Structure 1
Amino acid sequence: MSNGSTFPPHRRLRGTLLLVLAAVVVVSPVGWLLWRAWSDGGPPGAGRPAASGPSDAASGGQSEGGSGSDGKKGAGSGGTTAPGAGLKGRTVLIDPGHNPHNRDHGREIGRLVDIGTGRKECDTTGTATDDGYAEASFTLDVARRARTLLQREGAKVVFTQDGDRPYGPCVDERAAAGNKAHADAAVSIHADGSAAGNRGFHVILPARVSAGPADTAAIVGPSRRLGEQLAGRFGAVTGSKPSNYIGGGTGLDTRSDLGGLNLSDVPKVFIECGNMRDPKDAAQLADARWREKAARGITAGITDFLAH
């Protein structure tokens, strides 16, 4: 019979291993992990989980920076940025084209303003579908939806008008609003009034202009990048095709006759979301569910632009 000073073979082996691990601990992090595993009751795999770093589940399986599978950041582009954080610190100018009350103020909106390349009406009434759905109502609805989405991502959103003005503002005031806000991106929302059969959306980019109060040299490049992101995301989200009558299938058009672009100091584009005079496009533009898609597409394009 043993008096307790002699241990079974497996106990002696365990004691020897503990002594070896104790020596390893001082020189190796791995040794520390093994020491903890053995001292807590057995090696990894013996009814206890091995120590490890953050799992894929905890980190979202994403690389540093929150990039999604398409390599883009931000919630608007499929990344892992938490809602309310993706556009924090960014300012976006949304310009709902025209004004529902412009039709009652023809004299005021008809006065001419300097846009650098010439003089143009302060504003216009915009177009409408055959059954009377006004472009100004469409632009305001989509703009408000986009504002909600952008604010959820943390952006500060500035409007040029929110249906709260008797008319306008004039095109030079619309540009000045983005400049005053030091907007990181500005988008003017419109719908076209072309002939039936002309379908699809297009994004209008500022041309290189240097005349009078207009100088677009600094914004041409970034505005093109904004326009490309916007066109790509708008088409993907809404399922709409690029214009079949403007832009040669690219969905992009460059103009020098729009005061809202000529007088902007910040990256800015216009988007013509569809053609109100085409029955098929008009049916989409008048559909609240489609307008929500349009707002999501615009938000995603802006988010992509600001993420790079």
Structure 2
Amino acid sequence: MSYDSPPPTSRPSRRFSGRGNLTVAVAALVPTALAGWLVWQGVSGAEGSGLPPKALPSQSRSATGPASPQPKPAPPAPTTSGASPSSPSSPSSPAAKGPLTGKVVVVDPGHNPGNFRHTREINKLVDIGTNRKECDTTGTSTDAGYTEAAFTLDVSRRLRTLLEEQGATVKLVQNNDRPYGPCIDERARIGNEAKADAVISVHADGSAVGHRGFHMILPALVKGGVADTTKIVGPSRELGTRIAGKFVRATGSAPSNYVGGGTGLDVRDDLGGLNLSTVPKVFIECGNMRDPKDAALLTDGGWRQKAAQGIANGIGSYLKG
């Protein structure tokens, strides 16, 4: 999830201000490259990591300042493996009967392919409880021009199919069916109004070369204005740790080497999509689009299918208890 357009320069590696205290039980390392490091299901303690705020390089995790327009989004990179996603405008099909029957999952594909054409609209400030932030941003891209917005839609459509096969009712926040956005406050509202049992916001990061791996973003304890995450902090942490563990197993990717201290978990209090949520919600940064090795994975259809499978497995594990 990138908020600035210029190529990475020299800013440090975090994009938020303010944390609470976080105590997270870090997973045991699994001694195989494929398994990577597992984040165990149980976590405890207060919110936040207690680390001082940092900010990522340009194109990365900066949450300050208006987003700059990206180049015209390129179509998803051609691949020879991986299931094809659903068509852009197709509605969610009726859910099959399965272990997730009766569960509602909202999938939030980060950014929108049309955002770069609507910079005035997405730069409009909206209330996130603790302060005001831009409606939305353009997202990042690989050096070859594969956009985060294209990536998030592809993975989200694959994820929808996998969850529906297990019986879940799935709603996409956007499916390239609107000119821009929705704004971050509306994204949260969609999950709330659906009374979702779980919400996942799909992203890819835009950090410096050498920064690799995925991480989950969890809501901090926030009470201010219209924001109150008191009831969702615990369930969201459980959701995030389960997805992290299953993502490692499905993709072979390791937790981030630049965010979360090797746990794959990062607590944030500056994201409207989390601050305004009243249902369990997490973000996943599936990898770093600005690193060539991570970019090679993110642009491969077979890997994207594994990513969707890992997320689906984590959500299923959480919902089945």
**Structure 2 residue aligned with 1:117:** 130
Q: Is it true that 1:260 corresponds to 2:273 in the alignment?
A: yes
Q: What's the offset of the Cα at 1:157?
A: 0.2
CA distance in 2, matches of 1:100, 1:252: 27
Structure 1 runs (4+) deviating above 2 angstroms are none
**Structure 2 residue aligned with 1:17:** none
**Structure 2 residue aligned with 1:42:** none
**Structure 1 residue aligned with 2:84:** none
String of CA shifts for 1:190-245, please: whole Å, max 9, x gaps: 00000000000000000000000100000000000000001000111000000000
What's the secondary structure of 2:231's corresponding residue? Answer: coil
**Matched letter for residue 86 of structure 1:** P
| 1:135-284 alignment runs, 5 A limit | 135-284=148-297
Relative contact order higher in (CA < 8 Å, ≥ 6 apart) = 2
CA distance in 1, matches of 2:171, 2:221: 25
**Structure 2 residue aligned with 1:96:** 109
CA distance in 2, matches of 1:153, 1:246: 32
Q: Is it true that 1:126 corresponds to 2:135 in the alignment?
A: no
CA distance in 1, matches of 2:140, 2:161: 25
**Structure 1 residue aligned with 2:100:** 87
String of CA shifts for 1:168-199, please: whole Å, max 9, x gaps: 00000000000000000000000000000000
**Matched letter for residue 294 of structure 2:** D
Q: What's the offset of the Cα at 1:84?
A: 3.1
Q: What's the offset of the Cα at 1:108?
A: 0.4
Q: What's the offset of the Cα at 1:117?
A: 1.3
**Matched letter for residue 170 of structure 2:** V
Q: Is it true that 1:294 corresponds to 2:307 in the alignment?
A: yes
TM-score of the superposition, structure 1-length normalised?
0.73
CA distance in 1, matches of 2:179, 2:206: 23
CA distance in 2, matches of 1:247, 1:253: 5
**Structure 1 residue aligned with 2:60:** none
More helix by share: 1
Report the structure number with the largest CA radius of gyration: 1
CA distance in 1, matches of 2:232, 2:300: 34
CA distance in 1, matches of 2:276, 2:182: 14
Q: What's the Cα RMSD here?
A: 1.0
String of CA shifts for 1:34-76, please: whole Å, max 9, x gaps: xxxxxxxxxxxxxxxxxxxxxxxxxxxxxxxxxxxxxx9xxxx
What's the secondary structure of 1:229's corresponding residue? Answer: helix
| Runs of 5+ unmatched residues, structure 1 | 1-71, 73-82
Q: What's the offset of the Cα at 1:259?
A: 0.2
CA distance in 2, matches of 1:148, 1:130: 29
Q: What's the offset of the Cα at 1:281?
A: 0.1
CA distance in 2, matches of 1:111, 1:253: 27
TM-score of the superposition, structure 2-length normalised?
0.70
